[in-house]
């Protein structure tokens, strides 16, 4: 059996800094959302992200990470995650997922939203709302005494009940003084498995939900992930701390 590193329990000071990082990131993403309109290119979205990060006097977590070239992952329609900003223009009816990570005083925060551009088909709108609500269902299981896979199971069961599918190949993760810490947090699986949740654990929970089948394909750039059936996909992510009273969303 593979031995895994233990899940770090954050101190009060750590959580204070992660709370600040989350606050900064959520205001960056909120402001970024206002610029997501018909006619903008995905690389313009990245430039805006870069400026917002610089203005907030924090550092981008993704640029340079394993060679990733930009501050934001921008994934349109059939792109699931890790879209590299390009000259692709957003059109009426598209959906766009923006995933942004920042580093504040050596503490990381990670957040993603999917936004509709103009007039989006009702079924695709529902895909976005189910992904966001699935994330919130998962987060709600972030109680001390629950097990890690209670989060996973809550997401999968909600999403599948609504007729959508959950991507298997990419998962959420612990986060703190590194972007990716233990544990991996799948968005699917049976309940009551895995480590017990404890106060002070901090997770980036991030369901990727497909309109069609859950299968994906990694493109030749080595980053961009698309749905195999080329139907749309949505992605929402929050950084969350487990407190004695339950989950606290740091990127709200
Ligand atoms: Mg993440």
State percent of the chain over pLDDT 90.
98
**Mean pLDDT computed over 171-185:** 98
Q: For 83-118, how does the pLDDT look when each residue is reduced to its tens digit (9 = 90+)?
A: 999 999 999 999 999 999 999 999 999 999 999 999
Tell me what pLDDT residue 5 has: 81
Q: Where are the domains of the chain?
A: 12-249
Tell me what pLDDT residue 3 has: 52
**Mean pLDDT computed over 192-210:** 98
The number of beta carbons lying within 10 Å of the beta carbon of residue 37 is 11
Measured in Å, residue 88 CA sits from the centre of ligand 1 at 23
Q: Is the pLDDT of residue 1 over 80?
A: no
Measured in Å, residue 81 CA sits from the centre of ligand 1 at 10
CATH architecture for residues 12-249: Alpha-Beta Complex (3.90)
Contact of 88 with 1, CB cutoff 8 Å: no
Order of strands across the sheet that contains 238-243: 181-185, 172-174, 202-205, 238-243, 246-249
Measured in Å, residue 223 CA sits from the centre of ligand 1 at 14
Measured in Å, residue 206 CA sits from the centre of ligand 1 at 6
Q: Is 244 left (phi over 0), alpha (psi -120 to 50) or beta?
A: alpha
pLDDT band at 22 (very low <50, low <70, confident <90, very high): very high
Measured in Å, residue 230 CA sits from the centre of ligand 1 at 22
Distance, CA of 158 to CA of 136 (rounded, Å): 10
pLDDT band at 17 (very low <50, low <70, confident <90, very high): very high
Q: What is the pTM of this model?
A: 0.97
Measured in Å, residue 123 CA sits from the centre of ligand 1 at 26
State percent of the chain over pLDDT 70.
98
Q: Is 163 left (phi over 0), alpha (psi -120 to 50) or beta?
A: left
Distance, CA of 252 to CA of 249 (rounded, Å): 6
Q: Is the pLDDT of residue 184 over 90?
A: yes
Question: Which residue has tokens 């080595």?
Answer: 222
Measured in Å, residue 13 CA sits from the centre of ligand 1 at 22
Measured in Å, residue 194 CA sits from the centre of ligand 1 at 19
Measured in Å, residue 196 CA sits from the centre of ligand 1 at 21
């Amino acid at each position: 059996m593979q031995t895994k590193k233990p899940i770090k329990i954050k101190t009060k000071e750590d959580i204070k800094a992660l709370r600040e990082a989350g606050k900064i990131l959520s205001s960056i993403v909120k402001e970024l959302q206002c610029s997501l309109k018909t006619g903008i290119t995905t690389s313009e979205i990245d430039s805006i992200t870069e400026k917002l990060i610089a203005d907030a006097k924090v550092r981008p977590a993704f640029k340079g990470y394993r060679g990733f070239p930009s501050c934001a992952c921008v994934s349109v329609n059939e792109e699931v995650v890790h879209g590299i900003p390009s000259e692709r223009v957003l059109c009426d009816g598209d959906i766009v997922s923006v995933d942004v990570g920042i580093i504040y005083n050596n503490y990381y925060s990670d957040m993603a939203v999917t936004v509709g551009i103009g007039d989006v088909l009702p079924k695709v709108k529902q895909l976005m709302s189910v992904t966001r609500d699935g994330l919130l269902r998962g987060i709600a299981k972030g109680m001390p005494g629950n097990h890690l896979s209670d989060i996973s199971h809550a997401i999968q069961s909600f999403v599948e009940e609504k007729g959508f599918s959950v991507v298997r190949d990419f998962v959420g993760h612990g986060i703190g003084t590194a972007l990716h810490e233990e544990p991996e947090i799948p968005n699917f699986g049976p309940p009551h498995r895995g480590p017990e949740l404890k106060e002070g654990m901090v997770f980036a929970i991030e369901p990727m939900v497909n309109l069609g089948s859950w299968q994906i394909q990694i493109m030749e750039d080595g980053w961009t992930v698309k749905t195999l059936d080329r139907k749309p996909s949505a992605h929402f992510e929050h950084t969350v701390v487990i407190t004695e009273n339950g989950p606290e969303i740091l990127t709200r």
